[in-house]
Chains A and B, each alone.
Chain A
Amino acid sequence: MSAPADSAADVLDIALLTLRVGLLSTALILLPGVALGWVLARCEFRGRTLVQTLVALPMVLPPVAVGLALLLLLSRRFAFGRALEDLLGGPVLLTWWAAALASAVMSFPLLVRGAEQGFAAVPRRLEQVARTLGASRVTVFRRVTLPLAARGILYGIVFAFARGLGEFGATTIVAGNMPGRTETLALGMYARIENFRDGDALVLAGISVVLAFGITWCAELFLRRGAGHSGGGTPRAKSGLSAAQGLPARGPLR
């Protein structure tokens, strides 16, 4: 019962679909993830720990369990599933949208964590000074907070994207594995191993390695180039004495 070997076009389709799923999933979580990262880094509120735990949950749960939860949520039994179906004009389950949603949920914690650390590293003093210079809250966020937190946010985006590309457990539950429609690299690899097509599986694995390596490499290069303004570039800053960056928290009074 062995299927014919993959053609180059088949492999390309799988790779492109995987990228499409990864891009959509990252796009879906970009705004909420960055916003939540900011809230966690800058706001003190009751239930903060609960929120942090909930955000981290997809990382520690079995991915299949997350998939099951999504399966229920996206079914017509729930208002959310019905609303989404109306919005997209058809069932969501077993489409590449479902695959993207599964990836989104699974990679959300990485984005939030990256953004949270990025925002937490921005000294409040700089935001305060910007306010006294006449800038509104929005301007301060756009021109001071965001550029200084960009490194952390970018890290979050890159790792969330890379994580989304490789998602398997939750994706297989909600998207199934339909060649040409929902078959991503990870799903395709699994199907080929099941069918004793180890050679084809290896090709897909190779593409995964190239993609993951390429993305991480580019991100590192880009972050290094932009590293200057975060204070790592000059000998003075390297001595660890330039306190301008990681201003430790101050007591209420001085």
Chain B
Amino acid sequence: MIAFDLHAGYGDFTLAARAAWETPIAALFGASGSGKSTILEALAGLRPEVCGEITLNGRPLQGLPPEQRRLGWVPQDAALFPHLTVRGNLEFAARARELRSRGATGRRALAHAAGDGSASAVTCAPDATGDSMVRAIDALEIGALLKRRVDALSGGERQRVAIARALASAPELLLLDEPLASVDRPLRARIIPFLAELPARTGVPVLLVSHDPLEVRALASHVVVLSAGEVVAQGDPRDVLAAATALGNLEAFAAENRFDVSVLQRGPGTLSLSTTRGCRLEMAAIEGFPEPTRVAVRAEDILLASAPPGHVSAQNVMAGRVTLLESLGRHVLVHATCGDERFVARVTERASSALRLEPDRQVFLLIKAHSVLALG
């Protein structure tokens, strides 16, 4: 049983999230900026400004330093130690845990000696450590990578090594931040079943962060839906995400861009909308659905171009200006304004540097009519 009740304020953003679950795999689901990663970091003990309660199998975690929480945090960028080999990374985790548990065993032994005088199994810690590392190597199938340098790994390999490293520290819960974000699509199809089996293989439950409803449905048996720092729904993904579908569009639920709109014009199969800030958007009309008053656009559905594009099928082509670049490891959130309206686009690090994106630079935003999703 895992439960948290967390609060924090960051200027105009407030985090107030409460959830509890007991399933082997749970997911935090929401748009970029909804507070998912913050919650994960707060659970790991890396956000001292977040207050509240965290309970892991009846053990309260709040106030404990990160090294005593026994949570295997795998950040989105894997954060492997670049000065160590793959084996070195795993050994770091195993040894750190060994030192920690030896300290604990030592204290326990001392307590025993002071009590009834029977010193107990002090020697079991190193064996257990070796075991956890070997089991992690087996479970993640990285035996062939052990001698490799970290910068010679592919995105998928980095992710697996990072998960194995977290497991080598014998955690009670794995925290995976967007585990599939840096993995390309074909590999995803292979990794998803692999992740699904992970709790069964290792005995360690998983909490993962995702903004992909398909991923959540494929993996999690409990989902906590976050929006702007608050839990808006939680439960079985089939029910929760079905309710989202009924509301409008499943994907819109986790979209970064949301606009109140009014309908300007109805064309054959399309609707012309205007946002309250006067930005014009074309969307694909769906027969038999009510006209939307709110729409959403996912950040990764916005294409960016550095020059005015020629003939393209996208119905929305808008000139804008970059206001802010926010790095998410291998991806970049590009904040841009078009007229008075603000957009957030998600592109890869590679695309961002190829377009030489930087604040105040002009960009063109391309949005397919089908990517404008009805929200309500």
Contacts and interface: CB of A to CB of B under 8 A. Distances in A.
Q: Do A and B bind? A: yes
A230 interface: yes
A240 interface: yes
A130 B79 CA distance: 9
Given A129-B73, A133-B93, A233 B151 contact: yes
Given A250-B327, A252-B10, A133 B79 contact: no
A243 B151 CA distance: 10
Please classify how large the interface on chain A is, using the bins under 10, 10 to 19, 20 to 34, 35 or more: 35 or more
B66 interface: yes
A2 interface: no
Contacts of B100: 134
Interface string A217-254: 00000000000111101101100111111011011111
B13 interface: yes
A125 interface: yes
B278 interface: no
A197 B96 CA distance: 63
Given A135-B96, A244-B78, A254-B37, 19 more contacts: A126-B79, A133-B93, A133-B97, A134-B93, A134-B99, A139-B96, A147-B83, A229-B84, A231-B82, A234-B152, A236-B151, A236-B152, A243-B77, A243-B349, A244-B80, A247-B77, A251-B326, A253-B10, A254-B33
B238 interface: no
Given A252-B10, A253-B38, A243 B79 contact: no
Nearest to B66: A131
A136 B67 contact: yes
In the A-B complex, the 7 residue pairs with the smallest Cβ-Cβ separation, listed nearest first, are A229-B83, A134-B96, A135-B96, A131-B66, A254-B37, A133-B93, A132-B73
A143 interface: yes
Interface in B66-81: 66-67, 69-73, 75, 77-81
Interface string B51-89: 000000000000001110111110101111111100000
Interface of B: 10, 13, 32-33, 35-38, 41, 44-46, 65-67, 69-73, 75, 77-84, 92-93, 96-97, 99-100, 149-152, 165-166, 168-169, 326-330, 349-350, 353
Given A243-B77, A244-B151, A131 B45 contact: yes
Q: Considering residues A125, A242, A251, A254, which has the most beta carbons from chain B within 10 angstroms of its beta carbon?
A: A254
B82 A148 contact: yes
A38 B117 CA distance: 46
A26 to B, nearest CB: 24
6 contacts: A125-B79, A128-B46, A133-B97, A134-B97, A136-B99, A252-B38
A144 interface: yes
Contact of A241 (B10, B78, B79, B353): B353
Given A229-B82, A243-B327, A133 B151 contact: no
Interface in A42-67: none
Contacts of B32: 254
A243 B155 CA distance: 11
A176 interface: no
A253 B33 CA distance: 6
Contacts of A228: 149
Of A128, A230, A245, A253, the most chain B CB neighbours within 10 A belong to A253
Contacts of A143: 92
A66 to B, nearest CB: 37
B166 A133 contact: yes
A123 interface: yes
Given A254-B37, A254-B38, A132 B353 contact: no
B8 to A, nearest CB: 9
A221 B369 CA distance: 58
B46 A139 contact: no
Nearest to B32: A254
B35 A253 contact: yes
A241 B327 CA distance: 12
A83 to B, nearest CB: 39
B151 A139 contact: no
B77 A125 contact: yes
Contact of A131 (B35, B65, B149): B65
A131 B75 CA distance: 13
A180 B343 CA distance: 73
Nearest to A134: B96
Nearest to B40: A254
Given A125-B77, A233-B151, A247-B329, A132 B83 contact: no
Nearest to A230: B82
Given A243-B327, A244-B79, A231 B67 contact: no
Q: In this complex, which of B36, B93, B97 has the most chain A Cβ atoms within 10 angstroms of its Cβ? A: B93
A187 B168 CA distance: 59
Contacts of A125: 75, 77, 79
A250 to B, nearest CB: 6
Given A236-B151, A242-B151, A243-B330, A135 B67 contact: yes
Contacts of A139: 96, 99
